[in-house]
Amino acid sequence: MKLPLLCWTAWSLVGGALWSEEPSPQQPPPAMRLEPLTANVIDPRDSPSTPEKVTLGRLLFFDPILSADGTVACATCHDPRFGWADGRSTPLGMGGAGKGPERVPIRSFNLPPLVRNTPTVLNAGFLGLVAGAPLVPEAAPLFWDGREHGLEAQVAHPLNAAAEMGGPLPPQNALESAAERLRSVPAYQRLFQAAFGEVDATITGKRLAQALAAFERSLKAGNTAVDRFLGGDPKALSALSRQGLEVFQSAGCAHCHGGPMFSDFQRHVLGFPDGERSAVRTPSLRNLTDTAPYMHNGALRSLEDVLAFYDQLQDTVSETLDGGDDAAQPPLDPLLRRLHLRTEDIPSLLAFLRDLQSPDYGRSIPSAVPSGLDVGGK
Ligand code: HEC
Ligand code: HEC
């Protein structure tokens, strides 16, 4: 039992009230335990991390040579200056210039706009980590809808996506075309050799993906005030924030946002307005201070707005779940019945969420990339 006594007591106090309120034939699922992020990342068996692989992956991450026209890098959208996201509601890849929210279109490719908010790659190595279960790197559920699995497999997506890095006519196999471009850069030949061994160090799409993933797994951002508190230091949180932690549990947030990442990594239908209702993977609540705007379409600018959404949501949930719902839409998640947020609890909850911000994650940007192109893209 890793929870400090304080929270456990608070939880059991409200627990009784929550359970008895609903005479359900099934036992309601208990809220998830909150845990500090103390785990080590787990590498895929066929790609152990080495400092050389991480060094290579970092240069690749910032090098726009990976995009079809040499203007967009992974770091164009996952920029350390914006919490390794882009500070925008939705990203602008191909045809843009500038950083983060200041990025503007300078060339029109007539591509359909990107509609999903860019998630941070901080703690990417812990996606899928839940309490009491081993982390399987190849099975890590990625993207807002959890449709891809594993950081290595993810790499091909932005390379193939026309509006991200692929351009109007993405090649058949964008991963291999990118590898081909890298083969013409002598510095990359040396870096791949150092990372993958002298004998057999051809630059391939697979190795490109392995190096990028190794770099992403190095972006750990724990050691927050909440981690220290859950790890046993009662002074790590202010009184307000401790109150927020209790609210977080009693208000039902921990039913979905639990475990060391404050996510169950399951998909839930919250009905956040976006044309059609869709099931969304619970996002981690770590490092939110640096990753506004929020939600899968980036529609909410502040954490205050997110909590106002939850405050309103619980009013509509019971009527919706008890009938009167649009049968053509997927039903709202039944766990939302356990939401008990009081407007007066919002300030403490905000203090708690802000204490899930890591003070000391890596933000360094290479001064140059081997292709000689603009670091981090145009
Ligand atoms: C044009 C902006 C853009 C570029 C360039 C880009 N990404 Fe992303 N990235 C996104 C968006 C948007 C998502 C979410 C997509 C979704 O959920 O459908 C995402 C998701 C991810 C995720 C999953 C995170 C999670 O929480 O599930 C990882 C990992 C990632 N990107 C890494 C990379 C890497 C590596 C590159 C370079 C090869 C890259 N991205 C290039 C915008 C971008
Ligand atoms: C039924 C599961 C569930 C419950 C209960 C729940 N959440 Fe969420 N939370 C989600 C999902 C799913 C999303 C993403 C929704 C979307 O983007 O449409 C989300 C999004 C968020 C975000 C935005 C994160 C980001 O990066 O965009 C915050 C903050 C948040 N929740 C906090 C809370 C708080 C605080 C509570 C309790 C009052 C709570 N959640 C209760 C599942 C849940």
**Residue-wise pLDDT tens digits, 154-172:** 999 999 999 999 999 888 8
What integer pLDDT is reported at residue 197 of this predicted model?
Answer: 87
- Give the model's confidence band at 27: pLDDT under 50 very low, under 70 low, under 90 confident, else very high: low
Ligand 1 touching residue 165 (CB < 6 A): yes
CA of 15 to the centre of ligand 1 (A): 38
The overall longest dimension of the chain from CA atoms, in Å, is 69
pLDDT digits (tens, 9 = 90+) for 275-286: 889 999 999 999
Nearest-CA residue for ligand 2 atom 6 is 253
Atom of ligand 1 nearest to the CA of 148: 27
| Residue 169: how many other CB atoms lie within 10 Å | 8
Within its chain, how far is the Cα of 164 from the centroid? 18
What mean pLDDT comes out for the span 292-321? 92
- Give the model's confidence band at 14: pLDDT under 50 very low, under 70 low, under 90 confident, else very high: very low
* Among 11, 266, 290, 295, residue to substitute to test ligand 2 (most atoms within 8 Å of Cβ): 295
pLDDT digits (tens, 9 = 90+) for 36-89: 999 999 999 999 999 999 999 999 999 999 999 999 999 999 999 999 999 999
Ligand 1 touching residue 100 (CB < 6 A): no
The b/e string for 330-352 (b: 16+ C-beta within 10 A; e otherwise) is: eebbebbbbbbbeeebbebbbbb
What integer pLDDT is reported at residue 199 of this predicted model?
Answer: 61
Nearest-CA residue for ligand 2 atom 36 is 253
Atom of ligand 1 nearest to the CA of 144: 17
CA of 151 to the centre of ligand 1 (A): 10
Nearest-CA residue for ligand 2 atom 3 is 256
**Beta carbons of 264 and 32 less than 8 angstroms apart:** yes
What is d(CA 103, CA 101) in angstroms, rounded to the nearest whole number? 6
What is d(CA 312, CA 251) in angstroms, rounded to the nearest whole number? 13
Atom of ligand 1 nearest to the CA of 127: 26
Give the burial class of 267: count Cβ atoms within 10 A of its Cβ; 0-12 exposed, 13-18 middle, 19 or more buried.
middle
Residue with tokens 């839930």: 268
What residue type is 375 in one-letter code?
V
On average, the pLDDT of the chain sits at 91
What integer pLDDT is reported at residue 200 of this predicted model?
Answer: 63
Atom of ligand 2 nearest to the CA of 272: 18
Residue with tokens 């150092």: 194
What is d(CA 111, CA 11) in angstroms, rounded to the nearest whole number? 50
Nearest-CA residue for ligand 2 atom 5 is 253
Say how many residues make up the chain.
378
CA of 96 to the centre of ligand 1 (A): 16
* Among 285, 303, 355, residue to substitute to test ligand 2 (most atoms within 8 Å of Cβ): 285
